[in-house]
């Protein structure tokens, strides 16, 4: 049975969060060397965790193959309950799905670096819909149509995609933040890894890019139990309902959206994002 926890106006899975764990995240003392991956769910979080693991290990795949991703780059909002902070490591790699308004004050007090990963919201909606079947901590989705309505209204868990992206973009001049899209990772993983290495001040050792390309491919991650969530017990993720590493493609929305759903989505997108200056635009047609 799914339980909801509401924090700062956002509905979150109660199985993963408590008011204490969320309060802990909001008041977190970041170190200047910390690196935070911030995403709306289903935007490429796990992919970025894997890429940064390989970058910081200078291409050594052993950490990625032996330590689960949620320990390598723990969720800030779950640290209080899980105690999974790898405190002796530099940099500490952290992950969050929380909106910017919750974390911005703590981040602005620090020099921590933030990597914000965004994905075409149509593909996010499709991926999130399928994930609701698998994740027992999320409400049972009824139809795709009903889910899409909730997604556009921002009444799904983790709140509105539009608010999330606009909130983090709004921190562009206040935080040390790099904006990356899921689609860029697809199109040019090497180039994006180089951009990440420059932003993070983490030099690329010879061979790192080749190792990164190999271990961060969809097929390698799908088969890596430390990245594919297959270790999570069935009462939390029902693996008979689908795989976390589902398809990993760009544009899957085209095989899910009806023309009416697409028109509705485009209208809503235009209302919310029409005036927003995005670092890159997604093809919405
Ligand atoms: P799909 O459901 O569309 O397949 P997150 O980690 O933020 O929850 O995002 C999960 C989505 O990212 C899933 O999308 C998953 O397949 C995709 N993904 C994870 N690793 C990937 C990779 N190496 N290449 C392409 N897509 C990947």
Binding site membership of 39 for ligand 1 (Cβ less than 6 Å): yes
Q: Kindly list the distances between the CA atom of residue 233 and the CA atoms of 160, 219, 222, 229, in Å, as whole numbers in the listed order.
A: 28, 22, 17, 9
Pocket probe mutation, ligand 1, options 248, 252, 254, max atoms within 8 Å of Cβ: 248
Provide the pLDDT for residue 192: 97
Provide the pLDDT for residue 40: 98
Stated pTM of the model: 0.97
pLDDT in tens, 225-279: 999 999 999 999 999 999 999 999 999 999 999 999 999 999 999 999 999 988 7
Binding site membership of 242 for ligand 1 (Cβ less than 6 Å): no
Please tell me the distance from the alpha carbon of residue 17 to that of residue 13, in angstroms, as a whole number.
6
Q: Are 147 and 132 in contact (CB under 8 A)?
A: yes
Binding site membership of 24 for ligand 1 (Cβ less than 6 Å): no
> Which ligand 1 atom is at minimum distance from the Cα of 43?
7
CA torsion 56-223-136-9 (nearest 10°) is 30
Q: Which residues in the chain come in under a pLDDT of 70?
A: 1, 84
Provide the pLDDT for residue 260: 98
pLDDT in tens, 67-82: 999 999 999 998 887 7
Binding site membership of 246 for ligand 1 (Cβ less than 6 Å): yes
């Amino acid at each position: 049975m799914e339980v909801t926890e509401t924090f700062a106006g956002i509905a979150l899975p109660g199985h993963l969060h408590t008011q204490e764990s969320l309060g802990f995240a909001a008041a977190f003392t970041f170190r200047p060397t910390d690196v935070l991956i911030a995403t709306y769910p289903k935007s490429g979080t796990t992919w970025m965790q894997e890429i940064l693991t390989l970058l910081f290990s200078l291409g050594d795949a052993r950490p990625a193959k032996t330590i689960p991703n949620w320990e390598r780059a723990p969720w800030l909002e779950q640290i209080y309950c899980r105690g999974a902070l790898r405190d002796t490591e530099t940099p500490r790699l952290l992950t969050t799905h929380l909106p910017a308004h919750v974390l911005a004050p703590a981040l602005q007090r620090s020099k921590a670096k933030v990597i914000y990963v965004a994905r075409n919201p149509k593909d996010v909606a499709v991926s999130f819909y399928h994930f609701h079947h698998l994740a027992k901590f999320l409400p049972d989705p009824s139809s795709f149509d009903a889910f899409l309505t909730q997604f556009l209204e921002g009444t799904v868990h983790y709140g509105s995609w539009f608010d999330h992206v606009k909130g983090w973009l709004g921190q562009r001049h206040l935080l040390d933040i790099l904006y990356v899209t899921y689609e860029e990772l697809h199109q040019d993983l090497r180039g994006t890894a180089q951009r990440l290495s420059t932003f993070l001040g983490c030099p690329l050792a010879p061979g790192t890019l080749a190792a990164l390309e190999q271990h961060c491919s969809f097929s390698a991650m799908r088969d890596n139990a430390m990245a594919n969530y297959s270790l999570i017990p069935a009462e939390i993720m029902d693996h008979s309902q689908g795989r976390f590493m589902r398809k990993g493609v760009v544009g899957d929305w085209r095989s899910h959206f009806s023309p009416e759903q697409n028109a509705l989505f485009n209208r809503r997108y235009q209302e919310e994002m029409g005036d927003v200056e995005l670092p890159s635009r997604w093809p919405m047609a």
